[in-house]
Amino acid sequence: GGVLAVTTWDTQNFFMHRMFFETAAELDADARERRAEACARPMARSDGLKAMWHDLGLTGITLGRLSISMTFTSFDDLWIPMDGADGPYAQYLANLDARHKAKLHERLRAVYLNGSPDGSRTYEAAAWAIKGTVM
C-alpha cells in the first residue's frame, strides 16, 4: 500500500542540456554516444517511466510534468557550473584535452549568444514526476 514517487529531468526537452550535448556532438564522436546516454535514457522519458512502473507491478500510476525557469546572467554563469566537479557536463569535460575543451567552450558560447550580445538568458527546465502504489 506504500507509494513510490520519483522526479527526473526530461533531458529530451531540457534546452540547456541539449544545447551542451548537441554542440559537443558536432565536435566529437564520443559526445554522440554520451548525448544518447544523457538525452534519451528511458528514465528521462514519459514512456520509459510508465513502462518501468508497470513492470514493477505498481497501480494507480500518475505522471505529471514540472517546469522551472533557469536564468543565467551571462555565458560564464552557464559555463562555470558545467565545468565543475559533478554531473554529466563535468564528467564529459574532465576527459577532454585543453585544446578540445577550449574549442567546445567557444562553440557553446556562440550557440548561447546566437548573434546577440552576452547577457541574461532564460531557459525552461522540465522534469517528469511519476508515482504509483505498491500492491
User: For the whole prediction, is pTM greater than 0.85?
Assistant: no
- Residue 119 near residue 73 (C-beta atoms within 8 A): yes
How would you class 3 by CB atoms within 10 Å of its CB: exposed for 0-12, middle for 13-18, buried for 19 or more? exposed
Question: Residue 42 has what DSSP assignment?
Answer: G
- Phi/psi for 16 (5° steps) reads -60, -40
Residues with pLDDT less than 50, the chain:
none
Q: Determine the pLDDT at residue 73.
A: 98
Q: Which of 8, 28, 3, 41 is nearest to 131 (CA)?
A: 3
Q: Residue 21: what pLDDT?
A: 92
Residue 130 near residue 53, CB atoms below 8 Å:
yes
For the segment 89-108, what is each residue's pLDDT rounded down to a tens digit? 998 999 899 999 999 999 99
pLDDT at 113: 97
What pLDDT does residue 47 have? 93
Helix (H) or strand (E) holding 21: helix 15-27
Burial of 85 (0-12, 13-18, 19+ CB in 10 A): exposed
68 vs 130: CA distance, rounded Å: 17
- The reported pLDDT for the residue numbered 111 is 96
Give the pLDDT of residue 32.
86
